[in-house]
Structure 1
């Protein structure tokens, strides 16, 4: 087992619902509601789940881009925040730590400033963190653009002159230019064509080996997650319902939601058939989640305890955790 690089404990992010002229709070949307996991140095942790389950909010709150409502995050032995204890990292320290923690955004069109040329976009962080200035900063930008499969002489061009796949490579170069240890990939391939997705995934794997990177990989594409990630966490309505190694999770799912999610992966052969599990009903509102297990309103294995008591992540084996009252009976 490798060194623990990131530790997330009971992370919460609630967005207030405001109403009327006075913007009085009338409740909150519980986007992330008590998420805990660890990521080992040099590994890839995948975060999967339906749209709106809180994956992206989790990634951004870990990076302190969103103010947390509760919980604690430690990175490389340094506490970023612990809301319950009222401990927060100093702004100057956080600025220095940003070099080690970067993000690749989902939309390659919205994440690049159309008024800035590529050289200025990639070198912005280099100058901000006083790594280099002037021509030296531009030369570093060229080097990282070339590492990401683009020509170094494109630094004078603007984002609108590039395709979606090329823009995402620019986003990766920008994140990599600060030589971070940890990168959050917030659905970095979701907006790309399938053929380009494979190229970007291969690029991320090559860069991981070259620079000894650690990834938090947020994705809808379970086929990619299966082969790209070392460990996978399954989210439902702001909570983790199952965590395990990629091999174990895709071989033997324990939670009924994970079973339904993985049954939706298309088969590689046109004649092969699989038992698709169709979930009944809609995802409940995060503003008013069900009492007890949040999944019980859609679960065919629901019992009285599921409606009353919220399950906690329990260890099934050394690398496999599940939050379900009836997982033994189901399996």
Structure 2
């Protein structure tokens, strides 16, 4: 039976709100937490973007649930040696209940220091080297590294967990899935794509966990929920590589007119039909996912957690 977790959206909520949502998630019966890692929100309507590592510190004191970043980009904005230190500290603070989800990132967050934003093939090569560096540092030994993309000299992490932090790799296509199977401790993807799961398993993933997530908008007024999704998260329906290459929230806002309310209705679970919510999460279970995370879009957080506690999770956990 899959594990069901809650996905905290740093793009949309203040730190204290995220901590309170984590408390409600634990009380509602969710088994783990994802948390996004952004420098910018996708648009100004979302309006937030706290530093994820500070929030995880607060979560470690507020709840007992495992926590994972979904996902951190350890290649451009923050050097992998620094990400390794942050991840190791989080693992210690959560008593080993922390996993590091990583991916190749988006220009929206990573180009802010003025570096050239590389093409996808180069970003994947950078990610593989970053994972190698972080794994070596998790050993607690002093390392030096002179690679194609990074230099590390005489670096040692003194605060490390008893076991190395597990690193899960995000992918949305065959190349990234192959990378995840080869060097990851698990695989993250955001669509219930059985073909990618099969590729990951056959490529070396074997018994490693496959994790996925989706966004919904619970509310008693379906039309209002649709409008909320379009206002806050229309970016998730943009096609192709736009999500990876557009550099600022204003660019995503310019594309919002392309996303209609009907597109939202067709692609996002909105409203209070428990069967629709169950069906959306069951699609991941049927595709072979081990852990499935859900995020509530918009302000109706308490209603969402009550709804999932009483109507949705009991059906999923039969």
Normalising by the residue count of structure 1, what TM-score does the alignment of the two structures yield?
Answer: 0.30
Give 1 or 2: higher helix fraction: 2
Please identify the structure whose Cα radius of gyration is greater.
1
